[in-house]
A and B are shown apart, each in its own frame.
Chain A
Amino acid sequence: DQQVKQNSPSLSVQEGRISILNCDYTNSMFDYFLWYKKYPAEGPTFLISISSIKDKNEDGRFTVFLNKSAKHLSLHIVPSQPGDSAVYFCAASFGNEKLTFGTGTRLTIIP
């Protein structure tokens, strides 16, 4: 039972444009969401997070939006840069319990 889903396995975006990565979840108990970036053969690196009491959190070029009614969150990267090419995982947790990860989206930024 995949409680956190990233339905797009890959995404290609032109450099300088906006990258939008999507994530859906099924467990309404989740109250904390995170995005991680991962390069091949490396561990994930934390990018940005959001609590369920908010609907938006911004950090530089990265913004995460949370739509609780739709059980959907998205990560916006503006402007996209070549170094952003990586696999992005969303993750969710509730009650400060374990993280449940999505399957990842491979983002490729085209110069």
Chain B
Amino acid sequence: GAVVSQHPSWVICKSGTSVKIECRSLDFQATTMFWYRQFPKQSLMLMATSNEGSKATYEQGVEKDKFLINHASLTLSTLTVTSAHPEDSSFYICSASPTSFNEQFFGPGTRLTVL
């Protein structure tokens, strides 16, 4: 149990385009979903926290207009990177929690490369 999927697993896009990443909890309802990004050899950095049906809470320094998060249901959250630039290239990981921050189940991640 507690499986989280992400789609796509790998995406290449041109600079200036938008990319949508989906995160789904497959066998549980996630009251809260989280979006992280990880640069090579660095830590996972929390970008934002989202609860179903409400606006996401963004961490300091994360542009909410650039990284649009929608948590439309208890099993689906999406992250849209708008007007992507090469510096947005990174590994994006979502996690989902049925209960609390301390119980997070991570997706397999999405590798975004912006040319």
Contacts and interface: CB of A to CB of B under 8 A. Distances in A.
Interface of A: 2, 4, 9, 32, 34, 36, 41-46, 49, 89, 93, 96-99, 101-104
Contact-residue bracket for chain B? 20 to 34
Count chain B CB atoms within 10 A of each CB in A4, A89, A99, A104 and give the residue with the most: A99
Count chain A CB atoms within 10 A of each CB in B6, B43, B91, B93 and give the residue with the most: B43
Interface of B: 4, 6, 9, 34, 41-46, 49, 59, 91, 93-95, 100-102, 104-109, 111
7 contacts: A9-B41, A36-B106, A42-B109, A96-B101, A98-B49, A98-B101, A103-B42
A104 B43 contact: yes
B59 to A, nearest CB: 8
Contacts of A93: 101-102
